[in-house]
Each structure stands twice: as C-alpha cells, then as structure tokens.
Structure 1
Amino acid sequence: MENTELTQKSLGKVKSSKWKDMIRKLYAGLETIARVEEYKIDDKMLESITKDFERFFEIGNKNSTQTVKAKFRLLFDNEILDGKFTDQHRAISLLEKQEDSPINGDTLLLRAMSINVEKESAQENILGNIIQILVTKCPELIVFAKDNPGYKGITPVHLAILKEDIDILKIMASTLQEIDELRLPKEKIQGICAVGPVFQDTVMMSGTPLGVAALKFNKEVFAVVLQHFASGLDVTNDKGDNIVHSLIKYAYLQPDKLNDVLEMLSFVLHCKFVTKDPIFEEKKWKIRKQARKLLMMTNKEKLNPLQLAAKRQQFRIFEFIMQGESQVYHSRESGDGLFNEEVYDITEIETLNLEEDAEENEEEQIKHEQHESVLEYLVHHQTNNAFLFADFMPVKEVIRG
C-alpha cells in the first residue's frame, strides 16, 4: 500500500515537472513572436507555437477535468512566475547561446498582451488567437495581478484598456460572466487596482480599470469597463482618489490635455454614457446618484475634487465644478417666474483645504496636515492664474464680504 502511494506521488511530481517545462516553453514561444524579425521565423514556426498553446489548454473529455485544473494551477505557481526559461525551452535553434530569460511575475496572458507586433501581420493573427485561448480557457488569468514591486497590481484588463481593445474587453467580460461565482468572486473582478510606482504620472496613475479608461479619454471603453469591471462609478484607488480626482491630477501633469479632461468630466458627471442598454437602464438612477456623489467624496488627503482643483491650480476645472448642473455648488432659483437667480454654495470656498505641493518627479505622498483656505491660498501662493480664482464671481463675493 505504501509503495502504491509513493508511486502515485512520484508520478504526480513527474507530471508537474513536465507541465512546468511545457509552460516555460509557452513563454519561450511568446518571446519568439515578440522577436520574430530578429529570429527570422517563418509562418510554419509561428503555427507550431499556436499548436503548443492549443495542446496545453485542450480541455479533453469530462474524465480529465481534475487533470486540467491541476495543470492550470501551475500557471500561477511562484516557481513559474519568479523563475526563468532557457534555451532548452525555446522553439528555435540559435547559433549563440541566449541568456536565461526572467518571467518577472508576468502570467502568460499578461506577457502575451504586452507584445507589440505589426498590424495585420501573421504575428498579430497568431498572437490574437493565443490571447483568445488564454482568456477563454483560463479566465482566472484575466484579473490575476502582477506581483512585482515596480508594476504591482497591473492586470490584462488594464492592458486591454491601454490598448483600447474593445473586442478583447468584451470577450473578457463575456467569459467572466459565465464563470462560477465560487471559482472567481465578483469582488475580485471589480476590485483590481494597480499601485506600482512606475505608473505614477501616467494614465495608469488612477489604478482602477475605470480610472484608466477615463484618463485614456475613450468613452466607449469607459462604458464597457463600467458595465463589467467596476463596482460602480464611485470606485477609488489606493490613495482614495475617485475618477474625478484622477482627471484633475492628470490635467495638472499634462496641461495640454485640459480640454480632453474637461470633456471627459462632462461625460462622466452628466452621465452621458447612460444608454438604452438594459444594464444601464436598470441602474440609471443609482448611477446618477453616484455621479453627484463623486464631487463630494474626499480622498486620503481629505480633499474633495473642488478643493483638489484649487490646490492644483486648475481654474477651468474649478469653474466647471462650481457652475456644474449637478446642483452640488450651483443652482438656479426663480423668484417671480420672470428671471432665474444663480445661487452658489460658498461654504467650500471659505473652508477650502489645500496641501503643500509635492516635489516634482517623486512618487506622490499622502499627507494629513492642516490645510489653507482658498483665500489664504490666493495670498500665499503667487501663481500665474491666482487672479482667475480671485476674479471668479463666488470667490470675489467672499473677498468683498
């Protein structure tokens, strides 16, 4: 009996070792696709790489279900993700020995989606087929985050948004919709957030898929992400920033993108993405409530979007929020029916919280300290656009008062 158990364990280890080598070969195949010009690979070789993926992910009959699951679990094994692949795994013969290639925490799907190839080329078709195999055969790969200090938290969903690839996003969404809740909880799908320092000062700085879609200014991608990869419009990142906070910070970093930011703010805050799609139709009142809430939310620095806009010297955004139709700070009242009176809430202006500027080119630090009011800001910070704030009617009235 003991010998039988030992034999089964030994066979399991042999199988596991064999599968791990197969996985490393798949990584090597992706490297070949990425360096096709350098390796001078022909179409036949590219097809053989695709067949390697098809063989590994072949589901087989019902009796092989447990075997397939065991094989798939190895895709997330630290020995694989923290390891390397070598010449013995490469699908081609080279005259000179290549250095061992580190995997650096990338899953197969993340590595595949990171490859840039020529449009309408054989490599693009092959890579597209491989990505579809990975997405549909092992859905866990879609939301599995990279665990690497610099790029921590990035997922294939983020990459699809960065590439503005709506087709693959929809395939991912469809696949995740069909997967069992016990196998992959909805909270895990909707709770992904990239936090790596490499993302600072880029469109990835917002961290959440919805935030990244907002900073890409792609309205169609934004709508797809909101439907399938976000718990709601009011999602926040590790700094407590919602999508409005992130757009304001991005406008500060990229002044030439201000018009795009304002257009996206209008799109989000006025819920222009709400269509006749049943998913939106059922939740439209909840979504509109969340849109209004966005302007009142404070991040971990205790700043709401209006306060942040003033702190980052974004007068046009400050003005847009103050004069917005959301009636958070601005409303119209009719006294005798003949004219409308504009009413502004100036409470925020008098108590506006502002932080000291973070040093440029350094990772943003969260500070919890006593902040200035907007009026103190105008006095102490001699900025080029301070007069714009001072001349804005609600602020001017506070000064006069």
Structure 2
Amino acid sequence: MSQPTIDPFDPLGLEAELSDEERLVAESTRRFVRERALPEVPRHFEAGTFPVELAKELGELGLLGMHLQGYGCAGTNAVSYGLACLELEAGDSGLRSFVSVQGSLAMFPIWRYGSEEQKERWLPAMARGEAIGCFGLTEPDHGSDPSGMRTRARRDGDDWILDGAKLWITNGGIAQVAVVWAQTDDGIRGFVVPTDTPGFEARDVGHKLSLRASVTSELVLTDVRLPADAVLPDVVGLKGPLSCLNEARFGILWGAVGAARACFEAALDYAGTREQFGQPIAGFQLTQRKLVEMFLALTKAAMLAHRLGRMKDAGTLTKDLVSIGKLDNVRAALEIARTARGVLGANGITLEYPVMRHAANLESVATYEGTEEIHTLTLGRALTGLSAFT
C-alpha cells in the first residue's frame, strides 16, 4: 500500500501562514483540550454537566475574553481567538460555548458599553475564570425576534426594577453575573445583574439530547431591584445585543471547523483500521467517496474561517459576511458529522468515539446565534436589497 500524498487536515498550508503567536495559541489550546478536557468530556456529556473546574484553567491560558484589550484580557487578534474556538470545539461544543459566552456575550458588552466601574469590577475576575457570566436575551416566546422581548425594566426612584424571563441561557446556572437585556421607556437597555440579587433565579434546562456537557438555563427575574449604575450606559436599542451576537457568531464559524475536523479525523482513522471482506474499509470506493466529500467540505470551511478572520483583523468584516461563515460552516460540519457516523457504523453511536456527540451538539449550534433561516434571509437581503423578514 502506498503512503498518502496529501495532508488531510491542512492540504493548502494554512498553518504556515500563521504568526508565531497564532500558532502558539492553537497549539496550547489543542494540548489543553487533549490532556485536560477530552478525558472528562464523555463523562460530563453522559451526566449532562459542565466541567466547571476547568474555568480557572481556561483563564490561566488567557482564553477568556482573549480578544479584548485591557482589564486582564489577553488582547489577541481575531484569528487567534478563532483558532482557540476551533480547538475547543474539536473537544466539545460545550467548551467552546462556555468560552464564547464568557468572552463575546458577557464580557464584550461590559467592555464595549459598560462604565469604568463595571469594567473594573467584573472583567478582571471574568478573565481569570473566577467569575462566570451569562447573556440574557432569548425569551420563551421570542428567539429569532428579540425586538418583541417582554422582559421589562422600570424606574423606581433611582433604582431599576426588572421583571421577566429568559430561556436557553448558556452558563446561567453557574454564573455570578448576567448581562440581561430588557425593554425600558427609552428602548432596549442592557443591565449587569449579579446573580445573587434577590428575585433572580436560574433554573437549569433538563432532558437535553444536545450540548449535554454544557449548562443551559432559564432565568426568572421577579422584582429584581438594581441600582442606577447597573445599566450599561453607552448603548440603547437592539444594536447592543446584536453586536454581541455577531462577536459570538465569529467564534462559532471557527468552532464548527473544529467539530468537523474531529469527526473527519475519527472517520479517516477508523476506515484505515476497520477490516471487512479482508481489507480496510478505506479501500472501498464508496467509503473513499465519503472520505473525499468530508475532506473537501472541511478544507473549504477552514479556508472560509481563515479568510474571515483576516478580514476581521483588517477591520473589513461585516455582519453579512459573518452570516456566510455561520451558515455554511455549521451546515458543512453537520454533514461531515453525519457522514462520519455512517463510516463508523454502529460504533459511531457510542461515546467511545466523538462523532455522535459532535453530531448532536451541532444540532444546537445550527440553531443558536441565528438559525439557518435567519442567516439565509440576512444574506438574501444583502444580495437583493429587499427584506423578506416580514
């Protein structure tokens, strides 16, 4: 048998174009995932729990709020952040979701729109993993259309009173602080809410079949009284939460490549060692077609992620282009996961291999931070100038 003549994971030499810092981020994150996370992930996935003990280790690696400047954050470039998300999600979507929510959805709005007092109080502790954050936007009846949110904040003297509910909130049950978005008389505002505030309750969502190694919660706010300085002072309206979602989507389009790589790697290795009819199944035409289709999709997804990362660092990345990455890379990763499961046969449904776990997780990744329908219509509007949302 001749030796392979192409690198199945980097045929175009994308790694050679990385800076020393970018390569170091990728390598150190990959090592952490393989040595610390992967030995624990299957157990947590089966139990429906998150390895919260890893939070401070993620902080020590500089991965929490890593793309933010100051306040104990690493201040890396966008490509480094993307590479970290890729390696984390090669371990499990729950790991990448934790880091994305912490950095892009909880820390980013405080960093971008918060007061100096809010930044000093929360960001250094969050960067160290000593304080965990969550992001309260989605509601039981308002997911894709956050403008219809029912959570309200009203004035009571100098204080604010919050009432409402948020659902599908990653990290909600383990968070010390929540960034909650609510309707006010002046429009939608963001509030920094310590989770030990009276009237704040987090109820974990059970019976999940996806993202099991992650905490998902409902937040219930009943007469939650906050001081005047709890509001994020520098943003009013939906542009606040939507800008945070765009930051998170950037991490997702990289993370999907990691999940896809893990599935392809498992399928390629399995096909080369699993024998049927007297030879490895990698030698059969139909199996080779599956491997080639996965390889092509993975290569294109990686190219797209790297290009969008370079554009973000150059300041030319738009939200519409992020939609391309979120939509197509997640779609490609799902197809790779399903194809890889087929290559592994019955073995593909067990936790001995990562494929079914990734396939299940990616069903959630396809839905959060904008469904396939939302990103399709976003791109349709960008192409035609006509909105089909209403």
* Bigger share in strand: 2
Q: Normalising to structure 2: TM-score of the pair?
A: 0.26
Greater relative contact order structure (CA < 8 Å, 6+ sep):
2
